[in-house]
Structure 1
Amino acid sequence: MIHPRSQSLRDARPARAPARGRALPLLPALLLTLCLATGARPAAAQSSASPVLQRIQQTGVLRLAHRESSVPFSFVADGKPYGYAIDLCLRVADALRTALKLPGLKVEYVPVTPANRIAAIVDGKADLECGSTTNTRERREQVAFTIPHYIAGIRMLVRTDSGIRKLADLRGKTLVSTTGTTSLVVIRQINGSGAMQLKVVEAKDHAEAFGMVEQGKADAFVMDDVLLYGLRANARNPASYTVTNELLTIEPYAIMLSRHDAEFKRLVDKAMVDSIYSQDTQKLYKKWFQSPIPPQGVNLDIPMSYLLRDSFKFPSDKVAD
């Protein structure tokens, strides 16, 4: 919750006289007047209004949900979570240490999949989901999103020798996408009329979907382009795969958090905006998109798009649906 503007003590009007026979104790009355005058809230009110912050203060732990194979946003290498979104969440953790005066705040990692990532936030198993999740109207009915940190587009990954270069080339063929993703929704909408006669297959994660194209079990993997580039770059023979030019949708990625804790969201939003204005986010972008990254030291070499650059000029959690 954003605190109301402060007003001076001289502007605070005297409280109306208490009802007959019910004297208002002096100390509580003074405390109430001070809270109203300064915009502050009693500690009990703050705790009850922010269940996530209350739990963090009680346990000294911030729980970050991460993915297994969403390169370069959130993935596991050598048994440890890495990625652009992970680093951004760690910047939020640093901001919370200062704001909550918890220098010993620890980070606990919670592995999630595309299918259960939203439930992890809704059920309170994680405080932040640090991955490659698109901010959509449908998802905002269950969770909240902070400032977008990437703007992707849905494209197709195919074998270079397949001859497939656009959606029309897939008539009667097999497409794979990952369970619980907006890409899968787009495929089903395209195939809704039946004119394309597509066979749509679901994979449990991005690595499995890529493997189906690699093994010839699917003709194309439809997914956010940056994830396709990451999988291609880390393949045994990257030149064997092509990411098509045809753009199907625009996808603004953002960190997920509870939609029932405005105070926690206010602190997270502030941390994200501060990171953008200090150029820290832009440095992290260069680290993960324009430099060698684990596990194989591959450079994705993806320049920042003009859409993301422009969004960083006026950072906001509002996106076009």
Structure 2
Amino acid sequence: MKLSKVVAASAAVLALTATATACGSDDKDDSGSSGGGKIKVGIKYDQPGLGLKQPDGSFAGFDVDVATYVAKELGYKPSQIEFVETKSADRENALARGDVKFIAATYSITDERKQKVDFAGPYLLAHQDLLVKADSNISKGTDLNGKKLCSVTGSTSAENVKNTIAPKANLRKYSGYSECIAGLQSGAVDAVTTDDSILAGFAAQDKYKGQFKLAGLKLSNENYGVGIKKGDAALEKKINAALTKMVSDKAWDAAVKKNFGTSYKNEPAPKVGVIVK
């Protein structure tokens, strides 16, 4: 009788251990190969060439390609990736809340942001620039004096231009860059300013091909990184390894060509861990 009780107790312990182990496997989300789980990744939904949700519900852009490659190296198939819209103002909170595992969304690495999140990368070096019509004679910042310059509400790009090189530029602020681009096409504005990668993505769209050009001013350095939750050193190491591999196997070059078109004279792939000031 006593032996039966011991055996029963041992069986119960083993059952509880197996249950706990199984639960632990279900909760683990940093290796897709462990059981067909999903990974949530933050991207932009409204930036052609970088992160764009298309009419059929699929996603396209350089950030999307980077995120997909990184997820693959973490053990996830494309079908296991759930892309989540992370607007600029909510990126830090999305990571802190655990809404997403990582973010690839034109996320420039800055000292201020590094107080709240960690970054892998950088994976792209962009610059603030101007987009103008293909036949425009605007070739330097001072040419904007007296001209209409567009950027989005809440962005500091237009103010940077006005405060540093074109104090007499007339600022126009719209709610989104697509409105600025439409304004440039119609002649309502003379130039649009933000990161050159974003501008190139819009210019490469079929409906705009051949209509615009980048001025090539390089008004700032924007080191795009993959945002991760503060303190997750293991994930940062894995993503850095994935980004390094993406460059070495030429997948990075292919993604640049596919998403930005010929109008974008991109910088070479940045070295992981090296921030260009």
> Aligned to 2:59, which of 78, 81, 85?
81
Identify the residue that residue 67 of structure 1 maps to in structure 2. 44
The answer as to 2:102 corresponding to 1:128 is yes
Q: 1:139 to 1:282 in 2, by over 3 A?
A: same
RMSD: 3.7
Rounded to whole Å, the distance in 2 between the matches of 1:244 and 1:200 is 18
Q: 1:191 to 1:147 in 2, by over 3 A?
A: same
Identity of aligned residues (%): 22
Deviation at 1:301, TM superposition (A): 6.0
Identify the residue that residue 187 of structure 1 maps to in structure 2. 158
Partners of 2:149 and 2:189 within 8 A in 1:
yes
Deviations 1:34-81 (A, max 9, x none): xxxxxxxxxx9xx9xxx9859xx8993211122223232222223211
Identify the residue that residue 4 of structure 2 maps to in structure 1. none
Normalising to structure 1: TM-score of the pair?
0.65
Deviation at 1:194, TM superposition (A): 10
Alignment length, in residue pairs? 253
Deviations 1:163-201 (A, max 9, x none): 433221222443222356xxx334323434897144434
Runs of 5+ in structure 1 lacking a partner? 1-43, 290-298
* Aligned partner of residue 191 in structure 1, secondary structure: helix
Deviation at 1:287, TM superposition (A): 4.0
Partners of 1:60 and 1:104 within 8 A in 2:
no
Q: 1:271 to 1:79 in 2, by over 3 A?
A: same
Q: 1:218 to 1:115 in 2, by over 3 A?
A: farther
What are the equivalent positions in structure 2 for 1:142-153 lying under 5 Å apart? 142-153=116-127
* Aligned partner of residue 300 in structure 1, secondary structure: coil
Rounded to whole Å, the distance in 2 between the matches of 1:265 and 1:166 is 39
Normalising to structure 2: TM-score of the pair?
0.74
What are the equivalent positions in structure 2 for 1:1-321 lying under 5 Å apart? 53=30, 60-77=37-54, 78-97=56-75, 106-160=80-134, 163-179=137-153, 184-192=155-163, 196-234=167-205, 236-289=207-260, 299-300=261-262, 302=264, 305=267, 308-309=268-269, 311=270, 315-321=271-277
Partners of 1:52 and 1:264 within 8 A in 2:
no
Partners of 2:129 and 2:214 within 8 A in 1:
yes
Q: Which amino acid aligns with 2:247?
A: I
Deviation at 1:156, TM superposition (A): 0.8
Q: Which amino acid aligns with 2:61?
A: G
Rounded to whole Å, the distance in 1 between the matches of 2:194 and 2:67 is 23
Rounded to whole Å, the distance in 2 between the matches of 1:186 and 1:192 is 10
Runs of 5+ in structure 2 lacking a partner? 1-20
